[in-house]
Chains A and B, each alone.
Chain A
Amino acid sequence: MTEKLVIIGNGMAPGRMLEHLFEQVPGRYQVTIFNAEPRVNYDRIMLSPVLSGEKAFEEIIIHGDGWYIANGITLYKGHKIVAIDRTAKTVTSDHGVTESYDKLVIATGSVPFIIPVPGHDLPGVLTYRDLDDVQAMLLAAQSRAKAVVIGGGLLGLEAAAGLNSQGMDVTVLHVMPTLMERQLDPAAGYLLQRAVEQRGIKVITKANTQAITGKGKVEQVELADGTIIPATLVVMAVGIRPNAALAKDAGIAVNRGIVVDSGMRSNDPDIYALGECAEVNGQVYGLVAPLYEMARVAASQLAGNEAAAFVHMDTPTKLKVTGIELFSLGDFAEGEDRQEIVLRDAAAGVYKRLVLRDDRIIGTVLYGETADGAWFNDLKKKQTDISEMRDTLIFGQSYQGGASLDPMAAVAALPNDAEICGCNGVCKGKITGAITAKGLTSLDDVRAHTKASASCGSCTGLVEKLMVLTIGDKYNPAAVQPMCGCTTLGHDEVRRLIKAKGLKTIPAVMQELEWTTSCGCAKCRPALNYYLVCDWPDEYADDYQSRFINERVHANIQKDGTYSVVPRMWGGVTNAAELRAIADVVDKFEIPMVKVTGGQRIDMLGIRKEDLPAVWADLGQAGFVSGHAYAKGLRTVKTCVGSDWCRFGTQDSTGFGVRIEKFMWGSWTPAKVKMAVSGCPRNCAEATCKDVGVVCVDSGYEIHFAGAAGLDIKGTEVLGLVKTEDEALEHIVALTQMYREQGRYLERIYKWAKRIGIAEIKRQIMDDGEKRKAYFDRFVFSQRFAQVDPWSERVSGKDKHEFRPMASVGFAQAAE
């Protein structure tokens, strides 16, 4: 018979508990969850990257809606439990829902501590706890105004860094003399303060907040020493306290948190508590690793294993601010029975300190270089006697036994029980074991099977090294295939960071995103150039040296080093004067080959590079512009003759094709874009295998997209039917802009659509008029800077160095 398990709270700890529970005793419990937040379980540790813009909310979801359905869980979103009736064994929510339970788990987490200064309740004073807080901060950040963060601990600094990267002028107020004094000693605290200040964040230590003032909303913060700091946003991040009020009201034993035994059971045997609201052996916890351990214990208890017990553990602290490396573990206060080893490298901004007692590590602070954190943690945990390696201990594992400094060797040398993922308590042996036993080849697989690197992600590098060590070349970092060998970031991450950090030049991208080469390679440079052209059309100066030769000289290179030239023929329509001009050019420059292309225009092949400007000049005289036959951009719009001539034509397909081409020419896209407009469903323009196609019908315009007729053959998907030509143009342009903003460089529309999902594209382009209009407007804005004929520019002398040799030498000597 199933028992009823009710959970109050839907954070990371109960989510993890359920995973363990379903694994151990599937089907034993019927689960109901009440979540005061109106959403699913997400990775709260990753809110800081969401705030800084480095991640999207969707990326930090742990359990999507499907997981709840698949496990038969009833999830009440936005329901806060207001009462527990222990006699009747029921809970009641603020919306009046009452559920009975056999077992109850309280996981109400914590509440942020609010300093009770005057003005703490003014609009504009926020805490930093959940997604609502992050969204409120992002909204406030749009004003680019001043923010004050009260609290220089982990959360406060992450909030400050996030607001700073959103463009706010941020001041951090910290009551103690150095930042993060609970995790860092003063020396490391100082280095941290310097790094924070270098980002343009002001730090005031020993700052005693006296009042927050303003008329109807926050205007300034006043300190006890009289300092006044103007601010429109105040974030309080001074600490948290267990949220135990509900349990207390129900008569459950509460001290600082809900008092539980080492089996996570409260003084009511049917009620458990876990997470930040629980107090075990007089301790409350706030970092994820012990909370996940509680989840493991609670699940075992609920599964019937009464021996499962929670044991206190020290957890390393890491700061999740991109570019600041910091690791802190254990106890590092000074004392008579302790010795310390310190390494300082001022130039490199490195500070390391080990605190020893009886030749054993009891505390570690690493700043600037944290790769050996896992090793020190391991030595501490095992209480290893370090006397033999004392002299070189601080230099890290790779220095022991004369081993090389190769980080791979360091990971290889870790013992099997060394902890790799601190958040989830996963050791090396468990990861390598799972890789071998289950044949795992991708990081996502390892995350799914072991949970390693699935929370804060800071051990991802270690896990990847383990994968390489275990399976060598078979490791396929597919989930985030790096752009190229110059970076570990994938295209999507790079695109997001370009926007989030406001990076507007290729050197800025390479500097900020820590490229490993000095100036990139032939793979990443053209991609970055496109992303910057697309994202900052008015500000970015196109870097021609980062374009392939075809786009640099606006012609197509051929196998013998000559070029081919294709002028635009709008919609495939031409006339006698144009054809005569082409014939004249062919004669004059002795062009060896003239060919009609598949895109309904004329290609002249075998032109010497030096002749290109002169060829363009003659073509330009006849009114031709570049056909961009070489571009990752709009190529052709193929048409049939439509209602003007064809007895079956339903609309003016030729006219519409010409209109699309005149509207969209010159735009750069991730890969080439070929379009077509057919005047009736007989589809003579072959619109149903194009990147974007239109099939005209009596009732309007059927818009197609995501076809392919090259390496792959694929019929198009139907985007939808619209009534007028104007609407059709708006939809096509919006679709193209969506692709321009999201596509990976060299990814054709059909591949992009497969990745994003046809339904999602339809939703944004067909159903969401506001979004469609915004895409359309951004395309139009970008065209203001893109619609310049590159041929006439070059006829007028632009880039003339491209077309001439620098010098001719040696011919005289050769004649002698």
Chain B
Amino acid sequence: MMNWIAVGTLSDIPRRGARCVATPQGKIAVFRTAEDQVFAIEDHCPHKGGPLSQGIVHGAAVTCPLHNWVISLETGKALGADEGAVRTIPVRIEGERLFIALEALASRAA
């Protein structure tokens, strides 16, 4: 069973932007696209660990601020010629409230 934890509201995140959620397993970046889709992934680029939450969000992808890898927010995989992936975290919107599934994260991290 998944345990959904509230982390804030949709309006906390700017469109085409991201905010971080601090967890014992490290930071999770929660993204909001131009069309108000929400995704959560590890805030850690598979390339050199860059903070993806600081990148430019375009479509359903983010460009890492350190070396311009482009990561799909939907799959967590690097797009284009690069290879690598970050973990995606289930996220749900209930009205305005945002929830992420923390156990999924904990169990996978273990």
Contact = CB atoms under 8 A, between A and B. Distances in A.
Interface in B81-110: 100, 102, 105-106
Contacts of A713: none
Interface stretch (A373-381, A435-443, A517-525, A741-749): A517-525
A808 B21 contact: yes
Contact of B56 (A546, A807, A811): A546
A805 interface: yes
Interface string A796-810: 000001000111111
Contact of A545 (B14, B48, B49, B59): B14
Contacts of B59: 517-519, 521
A525 B15 CA distance: 14
B5 to A, nearest CB: 5
B65 to A, nearest CB: 4
B7 A806 contact: yes
B24 A810 contact: yes
A521 B8 contact: no
Given A521-B58, A805-B21, A814-B24, A549 B65 contact: yes
A807 B7 contact: yes
Interface in B46-68: 48-51, 54-59, 63, 65-66, 68
Nearest to B18: A806
B41 interface: no
B12 to A, nearest CB: 5
A608 to B, nearest CB: 12
Given A519-B34, A801-B19, A807 B66 contact: no
A523 B58 CA distance: 10
A807 B12 CA distance: 10
A561 B45 CA distance: 11
A550 B63 CA distance: 14
A559 interface: yes
Nearest to B15: A545
B77 interface: no
Interface string B1-39: 000011110001111110111111101001001110000
Interface in A766-816: 801, 805-811, 813-814
Nearest to A518: B59
Nearest to B58: A521
Contacts of B15: 545
Contacts of A808: 21-23
B78 interface: no
Interface in A512-553: 517-522, 525-526, 544-550, 552-553
Given A519-B16, A559-B48, A806-B20, A526 B7 contact: no
Interface residues of B, number: 41
A811 B27 CA distance: 12
B73 interface: no
Contact of A810 (B5, B50, B55, B70): B5
Per DSSP, chain B at the interface is mixed
A807 B22 contact: yes
B57 A806 contact: no
Contact of A522 (B7, B48, B58): B58
Contact of B34 (A518, A553, A560, A810): A518
A805 B54 contact: no
Contacts of B50: 561
Contacts of A807: 6-8, 21-22
A557 interface: yes
A806 B58 contact: no
B58 A525 contact: yes
A366 to B, nearest CB: 32
A518 B63 CA distance: 16
Contact of B66 (A521, A559, A809): A559
B7 A545 contact: no
Contacts of A552: 54
B21 A806 contact: yes
A548 B48 contact: no
Given A809-B102, A810-B102, A522 B56 contact: yes
A550 B55 CA distance: 10
Contact of A548 (B5, B16, B30, B65): B65
A559 B50 CA distance: 7
A545 B14 CA distance: 8
Contact of A806 (B12, B16, B33, B66): B12
Contacts of B51: 557, 561
B65 A805 contact: no
A806 B70 contact: no
Contacts of B13: 801, 806
A526 B56 contact: yes
B68 to A, nearest CB: 7
Contacts of B49: 560-561
A806 B9 CA distance: 9
Given A519-B34, A806-B7, A801 B14 contact: yes
A447 B65 CA distance: 40
A810 B20 contact: no
A805 B19 contact: yes
Among A544, A806, A809, A811, which residue has the most Cβ atoms of chain B within 10 A? A806
Contacts of A526: 56
B51 to A, nearest CB: 5
A557 B65 contact: yes
Contacts of B20: 805-806
A659 B18 CA distance: 39
A549 B17 CA distance: 11
B99 to A, nearest CB: 10
Nearest to A810: B23
Interface string A489-528: 0000000000000000000000000000111111001100
B7 A549 contact: no
A22 B15 CA distance: 61
Among A544, A807, A809, which residue has the most Cβ atoms of chain B within 10 A? A807
Contacts of A801: 12-14, 19
Given A806-B20, A813-B102, A549 B30 contact: no
A526 B70 CA distance: 16
Contacts of A814: 24, 106
B58 A557 contact: no
Among A526, A550, A813, which residue has the most Cβ atoms of chain B within 10 A? A813
A810 B57 contact: no
B5 A809 contact: yes
B57 A545 contact: yes
Nearest to B56: A522
B16 A809 contact: no
B17 A545 contact: yes
A546 B16 CA distance: 8
B27 to A, nearest CB: 7
Given A557-B65, A810-B5, A517 B21 contact: no
Interface of B: 5-8, 12-17, 19-25, 27, 30, 33-35, 48-51, 54-59, 63, 65-66, 68, 70, 100, 102, 105-106
6 smallest A-B Cβ distances: which pairs? A522-B63, A806-B19, A814-B24, A545-B16, A549-B54, A522-B56
Given A519-B34, A808-B23, A809-B5, 14 more contacts: A519-B33, A522-B70, A526-B56, A544-B14, A561-B49, A801-B12, A806-B21, A807-B6, A807-B7, A807-B21, A808-B22, A809-B7, A810-B25, A810-B106
14 contacts: A521-B56, A521-B59, A522-B55, A549-B65, A550-B65, A561-B54, A801-B14, A806-B21, A807-B22, A809-B23, A810-B5, A810-B23, A810-B102, A813-B106
